[in-house]
Structure 1
């Protein structure tokens, strides 16, 4: 049952990641991967929120592992960082990697703080 919940969450999170990434990136005419940064930060905030709630395992399987796991994407961050570096956009590559880590951790912390404030 847990695996099915993860699959269902991922089936929603993955297409949402793609659509959100494309929608954000289409509004920026720059090499910087704003779409990936946006979905990673939003997913980190949601996962931080979920992790701070007293939730049962099935909720975390569906929303945390499945949905947030598919919504956020370290592999795309890695790919885009390497692609930017290879294209000579080293500043954008470093800025993207640093911003994703710092903003992701900050968003997760803020998500946890919101959940604790509401509990």
Structure 2
């Protein structure tokens, strides 16, 4: 199992880097990976995969692809720089978008 998590994590980290390069990093990139990862995880969980697939894709890929730490840094940085409105919009918007992403993932899995 640990090897599957490691392989998935390596692929997720590469995917995260590709999104960062494509979107120029920053808040857009963080939002994109968190929402896309939520869609993928929602679809995965809804399909009730084997434990090996959960380890590879769920824990490994999605765990490395998404980022709570960058999201948290963005929110705290905006708040400490006097941009409370941006911090609130970033926090609420990202969490809401990620939850919608999980719902979309569940819906997509039901279509297959």
- TM-score greater than 0.5 by the shorter chain: yes
What whole-Å deviation, never above 9, does each CA across 1:9-62 have from its counterpart, x for those lacking one? 011111321331342136xxxxx7111001100000000000011311101100
**Count of residues in Structure 1 that have an aligned counterpart in Structure 2:** 112
Structure 2 unaligned residues grouped into runs of 5+: none
- TM-score when normalising by structure 1: 0.87
Pair 1:42 & 2:41 matched: no
Q: CA deviation at 1:105?
A: 0.5
**Alignment RMSD:** 1.4
Partner of 1:29: none
Partner of 1:99: 93
Q: CA deviation at 1:108?
A: 0.4
Pair 1:68 & 2:62 matched: yes
Deviates further, 106-115 or 15-24: 15-24
Deviating beyond 4 angstroms after TM superposition, the runs of 4 or more aligned structure 1 residues are none
1:1-119 matches, within 5 Å, as 2-25=1-24, 33-118=27-112
Q: CA deviation at 1:90?
A: 1.8
Matches of 1:55 and 1:17 in 2, distance apart? Answer: 23
- 8 Å Cα contact 1:24/1:35 also seen in 2: yes
Structure 1 unaligned residues grouped into runs of 5+: 27-31
